[in-house]
Structure formats: structure tokens, C-alpha cells
Structure 1
């Protein structure tokens, strides 16, 4: 990748941050990187999202929408879309992950995050979503396919046969109508503790800061709740998850509870299948084996969701092609 320093220097100079101290933050699974800026006590965050691998426009679109709705997404201080650079409000360092690790009140944090989803799903209306792509069957299928395209070859040693892949995807397509029984809304997609902030001095759901929502889509309201409660990187106690699902359902008394729970199971299974594939791809293609350690947890979530009657066909496929004893963590690429 080309040296980004000159373009970053010009951007920061043009917006009065040339002399700010810069502290790079740990990266994620994308090409984006973040740099915390400190200018005599004033702080901001630089998002460096180099094109063509990254595109800042979806982030800008969703950040502005969330801001209009009253949620605590980072304010946009400056933007150079062509260069892939954003100057953002710094929401601080108190991620849910950090607060929980320090002994924070788990139930209170998850309640706040659930209440934010309730509020978002009450306030959001589909006409607000101009430019936000739909979570359509093609997108859902392509994501689910990552398991057979990356994980299956990694544990079997050979690519999946085309017929097997098509059978798998046909079974998924049969379930997507079940998922859509939940109301449509704005889906942030990466709604979990790594991307939620606890913000002091703010009241109500505004105390929950939002990060990493550039992949937002419109789709089933069940998705972000399952993203929160079936966290790929963290064990969520079943009792807590059950209480949060009940809290969400109680907020929408007209909602068909059985239909929502079926949608939750389908979206949870689809998400977990996708993540198993993504974590394998990050190792095999991108040389990032650190995510492999989470695969056993993701399999637990997937197995739980596959028990729902709406997923009987897919459960049979998994039991035949990847029976329980074969649901292993692939060895890191190049490992003996």
C-alpha cells in the first residue's frame, strides 16, 4: 500500500490539526485504521480508509442519519471522500469491552444497548434509508457461502463440490422469508461490545456511543439484537440474553413473538455461518490467524440457532456434511 503520510498531513493541515500529537489505535479486520489526535487537550479521531479498498461514503451517510435521529454516532468534523479521510469526534476510550473487563455492570450495559435498539427501531422509518442498501437474499446468500468457500476447504483439505454449495445455498434461501417476518429497519450489522461506547455525561440511550456502522443495511429487526447477544468474541450468559430478548419483545407488544424468535434464529445462524467463513478467510487469505480462536464460540451459537424448527433442513445439512466431531478450528495457515 502506498505511503499515506503526505495526504494525511495535507488533510490535517487544512483543518487545523497539523500539530496534533498522533496515536495510532489497534487495527481491525479491515484496511481502515484509526489515529487519535490530541491538540493541546482537544481531541479528535482520524479515520484513514484508503481507496479503493475502503469507501467512507457509507459511514458518512449512516453517521449523519444516526445523528439526525439523536443517537451518539461520532460527529463529522471534516471529510475528504476522495482521499478516504475523515476527522471525527472522539468518543473516548470506554468501549463496552473495556468497561466489562474492568468489572462493569454487565446487565446495565446490555440493557442500555438493547434499549438503544428499541429506540432506533421505533424512530427509524424506511424513507430515511436513501442510499442504504437492502439486506437482500443475494447479500445474505453470499455471506452464508463464506462457510463453504473458506471453512469447509480448510477442514477438509479440498474445495466444496459445486453441487454441495448449491444445495447449501438453496436451503438458506428457503429460510430468508422466515427472517423477514421481523419488521424491516436500519441494521447496523456490527452491533456488539467492541463497537459500543459508554459515554459519561449523556442521558438515556445517548450514553451508548456507536462505532463501525459503515456496513449498515435495511433488513430484519432481529439482526442487531442477535449480533449483540451472540457475540463472536465474548460469551454472553444465556439468562442475560433471554432477558434482553424479552425486554425487546415487551417494548413491541404488537409484534408476533414466535415469528420474531424464528427470525432471530435464522439471522443468528446466517451470521454465525458467515463469521466462521470470515475468520477462516482472515487466516488463509490475509494472514490474520488471531480470529481463529473465536471459532469454537461461533459454532456454539450456530448449533443453538440450528435447533429452531425453522432451520430443520439446514440442521440436517450440517449434521451430514459437518457433524459435531468435525466442527474444528482450522490450523493457522502454514502451521504443522
Structure 2
């Protein structure tokens, strides 16, 4: 069946066939979002082509978050096979848009930290796959598989790849990642909505959590405070780390080591993914974010526990190669 026809049938079943539709900004995936307006009532349609996306994880994680009292969008209707979801509209107040207009970012970040504290106090669902050392190491390959050839003009050699893997394996063998929690994986200001009519942790609306896994408590902290899309001051980041450590009564030293390692892991991955979004998917705007990610990665690499990885970068990807790839 033609996709537009199936979409129309889905909206008819949900009672939204006469709604006005407005395209919302696309993300880095193949999903598309539309705001629907029917007689003053609003909802959001997710269109996720089933050949490229699976909406079931989004539905499952949304239900888990809602059961914890967090503000994921409520699912109003679903066509799992067709790849359509009708969802609660959480509005337009993205933190990424609000923060530049305030002189005091701290209250917004405090609330976002409190959400993580609430989420991490509860065990992750048994059905979440593990975000373990094996997967973390696999993800670091995005950098050498996509960024490396974009800036060097050649594929990485096997000896260089092995040295990269060995360096990361040595670092991962030394870090304590902590007991597993629900990791949303893209927990940053562009995926967080401000809901001023809701109190406590419910004031933060959550988006883009379909890739959630069970992993380190430090990962989403890195996502939030080492943000690829906006600068977070060192002072603010330090306050938020202290807030999280104090609220959860965990060992600060171990947490900070995991934070640094996962920061380097995530930022290495992001440099590669943003390059892939350009080379494979034609989304060149992501290239503009790479210099910020490199600055964050350089900061992470200065931590003593990351010495083996820092040595690899200094030898094989020195500073003059840590740049924004040129469009061709």
C-alpha cells in the first residue's frame, strides 16, 4: 500500500483525519514528525518507515518512563507494522532554544539532572539490552571508519586499527562503569522540552529515547554536559556533577573516571557519526558541529585514565587532523 494512503487510514482510525498538518524539524534518523491540529487540539505524528526504523522500542521505553512519573509523550495511537505513532504534543519549548534567552541556565540543568537521578534510582527494565564494554568499544570505530578516510583520503590500516582497539580496551579494563541504569543515550538540550505547567521532574519533557540501553550512570550525564550542539561552561558542568553525585550518594572519584572515559568514547563516536551523516546521508550541516566535539574530546583525553587513547590520537590523528572535514 502507498505510504501516504496508509498514513491517511491511520489518522482516520485515530480520529485525526481532518487535522491540519505541519512538518516538524527532522532529526538524524529516517523518522519524520508532523504536528497535527484539530479544532485546537494538538498531537504529533511520527512517521518511521519500517524498512529503516522500528517504533516498538520507542513505545516500550515511553511506557517505562511514564510509569516512573517522567514526561515522555503519551502514545495516543499506533500502527506498529506501518511505522506510525500518534503521540502527545509536548510543545515547542526545547531547552536548546530557551537557554540562550536566559541569564541563568542553572535551574534548567538542575531539573534535567534531577530527572536522571529519578530515572537511575529505579532498576532498568529487564528487556533493555546491555550497553556494555563490547558495544562501547564497537562504537568507537565510527571515528576510524568514517572520519579517518574523510580527512586522510585513505582507509585506516590494520595495524593502526589494532593499535586503536588495544588503546581503548586498555582504558575500558581500568574503569568502573557502575551498576547499570536506564541510559537514554541522546539526553541533551535539543531533546529536552520545558513544560512549565508541570512540577518537579515532570517539568522536563523527554524525546528521542528509542535507542535506550542498560548501561553506566555516567553516560547520559556526558550527553547532557558535553553537548555537541551547545557550549556548557566548566563551572556549570561541575555544579551539575556535584549535584548528581550528592543526590545519589555515590563515589565521586569512580563516577568522574567513568564520566571522562565515556565522554571520550561518546565524542569519538559522534565525530564519526556526524561525518557519516554527511558522507552517507547528505546531511552536511552536522559537519559544523564537529569542531566543538573535538574540543570536548581533547578535554576528555587530558584525563590520566585515558593516557593510552591520548597516545594513539597524538600519534595517528594529531591536532592538525582534528578539524571539520571539507565538503567535496
Aligned to 1:95: 94
Aligned to 1:268: 263
Deviates more, 1:136-145 or 1:210-219: 136-145
Match for 1:203 among 188, 199, 205?
A: 199
Aligned to 2:52: 53
Aligned to 2:275: 280
Residue 104 of structure 1 and its aligned partner are, at CA, apart by: 6.4
The answer to whether the 8 A contact 2:176-2:254 is kept is no
Cα deviation 1:39-66 (Å, max 9, x = unaligned): 1001110001111200001101100000
Give distance in 1, aligned partners of 2:103 and 2:287. Answer: 27
Report the 3-state secondary structure (helix = DSSP H, G, I; strand = E; otherwise coil) of the residue aligned with 2:66: helix
Residue 324 of structure 1 and its aligned partner are, at CA, apart by: 1.3
The answer to whether the 8 A contact 1:180-1:219 is kept is no
Q: Provide TM-score, normalisation by structure 2.
A: 0.97
Cα deviation 1:213-239 (Å, max 9, x = unaligned): 001000000000010000001010110
Mapping of 1:83-122 within 5 angstroms?
83-103=82-102, 105-122=104-121
Residue 167 of structure 1 and its aligned partner are, at CA, apart by: 1.9
Mapping of 1:291-310 within 5 angstroms?
291-310=286-305
Report the 3-state secondary structure (helix = DSSP H, G, I; strand = E; otherwise coil) of the residue aligned with 1:35: strand
Q: Provide TM-score, normalisation by structure 1.
A: 0.95
The answer to whether the 8 A contact 2:177-2:218 is kept is no
The answer to whether the 8 A contact 1:196-1:208 is kept is yes
Is residue 2:317 matched to residue 1:318? no
CA RMSD of aligned residues (A): 1.3
Note the residue ranges of structure 1 that are not aligned, 5 or more in a row. Answer: none
Give distance in 2, aligned partners of 1:17 and 1:86. Answer: 12
The answer to whether the 8 A contact 1:152-1:159 is kept is yes
Aligned to 1:168: 164
Give distance in 2, aligned partners of 1:115 and 1:3. Answer: 44
Is residue 2:62 matched to residue 1:63? yes
Match for 2:217 among 213, 221, 224?
A: 221
Q: How many residues align?
A: 328
The answer to whether the 8 A contact 1:133-1:218 is kept is yes
Give distance in 1, aligned partners of 2:147 and 2:265. Answer: 14
Cα deviation 1:4-58 (Å, max 9, x = unaligned): 2111101000110000000011111110010000010011100011112000011
